Amino acid sequence: MDPTEEKPTKTVDIYRDTWVRFLGYANEVGEAFRALVPVGLVWGSYAVATTYVTADAVDKGKKAAVAHGDKPGKTARVAVAVVDTFVWQALASVIIPGFTINRVCAMSLYLLGKTTKWPLPVRKWTTTAIGLSTIPFIITPIDRSVDFLLDSSLRKVYGEGEKHE
């Protein structure tokens, strides 16, 4: 291989390849801390995650607009990029994981109350630890499930090859 030969550089997607991606998990962290913090902070974590989802969808729409130039059907292509990204991110980053962590924490707090004599603050901190430790295990199954769901429904409406990336 010629050392002077340039290697192709991968374009960095700020919403997928940088620390910004973690903003999409803000609501899961908020749900994990629900037993310990005012509910307003939990709702604030949803605002952060929803802002991330919206910004990613807008970014993908802008990229689709540039990629399609002035070709016919540009508006439809941009709309598909925005809708696909927004729906995928809303389901995979906010709605399903938020619900999942909420239920894991609620059930943990309930079961700890029924099966231990720990004081309430210990049960709440334990519930938060359980919720936080659950997050890494739910990400991939939820992402794959949302891909399957959209591939089986919404993406059939606008055709193959237009999926969220």
**Six-digit token string for 26:** 């803000």
CA distance 83 to 114: 44
Most confident of 1-5, 69-73, 153-157: 153-157
Work out how many domains the chain is built from and give that number: 1
pLDDT over 90 for what percent of the chain? 72
Integer angstrom CA distances of residue 59 from 39, 137, 163: 30, 28, 15
CA distance 134 to 129: 9
Residue 106 lies in a domain: yes
Domain region containing 117: 19-162
**What does the pLDDT average to over 81-103?**
96
pLDDT digits (tens, 9 = 90+) for 122-145: 999 999 999 999 999 999 999 999
pLDDT over 70 for what percent of the chain? 91
CA distance 95 to 103: 12
Integer angstrom CA distances of residue 33 from 48, 49, 84, 93, 122: 15, 15, 30, 17, 13
Whether residue 77 is predicted with pLDDT greater than 70 in this model: the reply is: yes
Residue 60 lies in a domain: yes
Q: Tell me the average pLDDT of the chain.
A: 90
Residue 79 lies in a domain: yes
Contact 101, 131 (CB under 8 A): yes
The label of the residue with tokens 């059939």 reads 156
Q: What is the pLDDT of residue 158?
A: 82
User: Which residues in 20-136 belong to E strands, given as ranges?
Assistant: none
Residue 64 lies in a domain: yes
